[in-house]
Chains A and B, each alone.
Chain A
Amino acid sequence: MKNSRSYVILVVLIATAFGFSKYQDLQYPDYFPVPEYNFDNNRLSDEGIELGRNLFYDPILSRDNSVSCASCHSPYNAFAHTDHDLSHGIDDQIGTRNAPALFNLAWQKSFMWDGAINHLDMQALAPISHSGEMDESIQNVVLKLQQKERYLHLFKEAFGDTPISGAHVLKALSQFQLTLISANSKYDKVKHGSDLFNEQENKGYALFKANCNSCHTEPLFSNYSFANNGLIVDTTLNDFGKYAITKQSKDSLLFKVPSLRNLKFSSPYMHDGRFRRLNEVLNHYTSEIINTETLDPQFEQSIALSSNDKADLMAFLQTLNDTDFVFDPKHQFPLNKSKNPKE
Chain B
Amino acid sequence: MKHCCILILFLISFTSQSQNDPELIQINPLFNNEHLELNKPYFLASVNDSIKIETLKFFISNVQFFQDEKLIDSLSKKQHLIDLEKEKSLQIEMSRSNRLRYNMIKFSVGIDSITNVSGVFGGDLDPTNGMYWTWQSGYVNFKLEGKSEACSARNNFFQYHLGGYQAPYKTISNIELKVSQQNLIVINFKIDAFLNGIDLAKSHSVMSPNDTAVALSKRFQKIITIGDEK
Contact = CB atoms under 8 A, between A and B. Distances in A.
Q: Is A bound to B? A: yes
Interface of A: 38, 41-42, 116-122, 125-126, 128-130, 138-139, 142, 165-168, 170-171, 174, 245-247
Interface string B126-160: 11111010111110000000000000000000000
B205 interface: no
B120 A170 contact: yes
A118 B117 contact: yes
Given A120-B119, A166-B120, A138 B137 contact: no
Given A41-B118, A41-B119, A118-B116, A166 B137 contact: no
Contacts of B166: 246
Report which residue of B126, B127, B136 has the largest number of chain A beta carbons within 10 angstroms of its beta carbon: B127
A167 B137 contact: no
Given A128-B134, A129-B135, A167-B127, A119 B122 contact: no
B57 to A, nearest CB: 14
B210 interface: yes
Contacts of B135: 116, 126, 129-130
A122 B121 contact: no
22 contacts: A117-B137, A119-B118, A119-B137, A120-B119, A121-B119, A122-B120, A122-B132, A126-B135, A128-B134, A130-B134, A138-B128, A142-B128, A165-B122, A165-B128, A166-B126, A166-B127, A167-B121, A167-B125, A167-B126, A167-B127, A168-B122, A170-B120
Nearest to A162: B122
A125 B122 contact: no
A90 to B, nearest CB: 15
Contacts of B134: 125-126, 128-130, 138
Contact of A247 (B116, B119, B128, B210): B210
Contacts of B128: 138-139, 142, 165-166
A245 B166 CA distance: 11
Contacts of B127: 122, 125, 138, 166-167, 170
B136 A119 contact: no
A166 B136 CA distance: 17
B126 A165 contact: yes
Q: Chain A interface mostly helix, strand, loop or mixed?
A: helix
Contact of B120 (A116, A128, A142, A171): A171
B137 A116 contact: yes
Nearest to A123: B137
Interface in B76-122: 116-122
A37 to B, nearest CB: 8
A151 to B, nearest CB: 15
A116 B153 CA distance: 27
A117 B119 CA distance: 10
Interface size classification for chain B:
20 to 34
Nearest to A42: B119
Contacts of B126: 165-167
A177 B127 CA distance: 19
Interface in B24-79: none
B82 to A, nearest CB: 19
Contacts of B117: 118-119
Nearest to A173: B120
B209 to A, nearest CB: 9
Nearest to B138: A118
Contacts of A165: 122, 126, 128
Contacts of B132: 122, 125
A41 B122 CA distance: 11
A272 to B, nearest CB: 18
Given A130-B135, A165-B128, A170-B127, 16 more contacts: A41-B119, A118-B137, A118-B138, A119-B119, A119-B137, A122-B119, A122-B137, A125-B132, A125-B134, A139-B130, A166-B122, A166-B127, A167-B125, A170-B120, A174-B119, A245-B136
Nearest to A37: B119
Report which residue of B121, B123, B136 has the largest number of chain A beta carbons within 10 angstroms of its beta carbon: B136
The 4 closest A-B pairs by CB, nearest first: A129-B134, A167-B122, A166-B128, A121-B119
A125 B120 CA distance: 11
Contacts of A119: 117-120, 137
A121 B119 CA distance: 5
A12 to B, nearest CB: 24
Nearest to B133: A125
A174 B121 CA distance: 13
Contacts of A128: 134
A176 B92 CA distance: 37
A170 B134 CA distance: 12
A116 B136 CA distance: 5
